[in-house]
């Protein structure tokens, strides 16, 4: 009898834990809060992209395969830092402190998935042993575009089409 009672109590406790809705399912961010949240994290990844571009391309529009091979340890390190920033952004898009407003919920989900996919491909470049492999994986990552998701999100959240990172 005591065993059955303990089992019933355990099931009741587990059942009550399982049916309690999460804060994310109940509470939605306001459009203003979502805009600030999005912009804060988008600006952080933008800084990482600018750093990557400056450190890899050194202010030029091109780089030779020979230079990539010579600088491969540094280039891989910078690629890993960019991957970390992109994955962090994708995670913050997929797991916000509260649910996204319904206007941007689907575009944010799609954008987070695409950014994560691109980061996974760049991670392969970050572990390349030769310049040709790094180039191959970076070209593949360039083909994974955000599409119109960024424009839709910014428009629906009332953010500027580009920029907005001053002071962030």
**Residue 3, in any domain of the structure:** no
What tens digit of pLDDT does each residue of 50-108 get? 999 999 998 888 999 999 999 999 999 999 999 999 999 999 999 999 999 999 999 99
d(CA 155, CA 35): 10
Residue 61 lies in a domain: yes
Assess if residue 80 is contained within a domain.
yes
The answer to whether residue 117 sits within a structural domain is yes
Question: Residue 161 domain-assigned?
Answer: no
Residues of the domain holding 137: 29-156
Tell me how many domains the chain contains: 1
Please state, in angstroms and as integers, the Cα–Cα distance from residue 59 to each residue in 62, 69, 104, following that order: 9, 18, 35
> Is position 44 within any domain?
yes
Residue 64, both tokens: 């030779």
Task: With respect to residue 34, please indicate whether it lies within any of the assigned structural domains.
Answer: yes
Angle at which helix 131-142 crosses helix 72-94, to 10 degrees, equals 30
Assigned domain for 17 exists:
no
Per-residue pLDDT reduced to its tens digit, 84-94: 999 999 999 99
């Amino acid at each position: 009898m005591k065993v059955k009672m303990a089992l019933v109590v355990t099931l009741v406790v587990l059942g009550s834990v399982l049916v309690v809705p999460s804060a994310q399912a109940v509470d939605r961010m306001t459009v203003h809060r979502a805009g600030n949240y999005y912009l804060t994290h988008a600006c952080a990844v933008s800084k990482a992209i600018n750093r990557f571009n400056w450190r890899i391309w050194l202010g030029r529009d091109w780089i030779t395969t020979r230079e990539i091979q010579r600088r491969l340890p540094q280039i891989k390190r910078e690629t890993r830092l960019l991957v970390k920033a992109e994955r962090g952004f994708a995670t913050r898009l997929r797991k916000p402190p509260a649910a996204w407003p319904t206007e941007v919920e689907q575009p944010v989900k799609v954008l987070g998935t695409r950014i994560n996919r691109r980061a996974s491909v760049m991670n392969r470049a970050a572990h390349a042993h030769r310049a040709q492999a790094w180039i191959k994986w970076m070209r593949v990552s360039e083909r994974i575009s955000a599409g119109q998701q960024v424009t839709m999100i910014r428009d629906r959240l009332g953010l500027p089409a580009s920029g907005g990172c001053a002071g962030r």
